[in-house]
Amino acid sequence: MGYILYSLSFAFLVFGTALYFTRSRWLPRVPYVYTRLPTSFREDIEAGLSSAAFDLSANVEAGDSRQGLDERGKREVQAIMKRRGVGFDEARRLYMEDRFKKNNIGPDGRPRDPKFVSFS
């Protein structure tokens, strides 16, 4: 019994060492999900996601403990900035208009639902 345990341990050690030394060949082919750690408002400012109209420096100065801006929204705004070559404020406006359109909300902020009734 000891011989089998020793053989398996030795085979595992040899196999693990071979995997370690050849990791540059097989590791890029391994599918895995990469998740970024949550960012802070300071990192959002450094990424260019702040402006005079959307100022995050007050959050940093106040010591806001929240994680920062929404990851999905940041990625989409950055993609708009890169794809269309616009600044942060314009990209944020385009992103919000797209979200409004997907949720059937007009550019003025009112729902486009025909059953919608508003009392002013």
pLDDT in tens, 46-82: 888 888 888 888 878 888 777 777 888 888 999 999 9
CA 91 to chain centre: 16
The overall pTM is greater than 0.85: no
pLDDT score for 107: 80
Residues 8 and 43 both lie in one domain? no
In a 3-state reduction of DSSP, which class is residue 73? helix
Residues 60 and 1 both lie in one domain? no
pLDDT score for 3: 87
Whether residue 115 lies inside any domain: the answer is: no
Residues 25 and 63 both lie in one domain? no
pLDDT score for 76: 92
Contact 53, 80 (CB under 8 A): no
* Burial tier of 41 (Cβ tally within 10 Å: 0-12, 13-18, 19+): buried
Position 37 pLDDT exceeds 60: no
Whether residue 16 lies inside any domain: the answer is: yes
Residues 28 and 41 both lie in one domain? no
Residues 25 and 45 both lie in one domain? no
Number of domains in the chain: 2
Residues 26 and 41 both lie in one domain? no
Contact 97, 107 (CB under 8 A): yes
Residues 23 and 43 both lie in one domain? no
Query: Cα–Cα distance between 76 and 79 in angstroms, integer?
Result: 5
Whether residue 119 lies inside any domain: the answer is: no
Query: Cα–Cα distance between 87 and 84 in angstroms, integer?
Result: 9
Domain span at 15 = 1-32
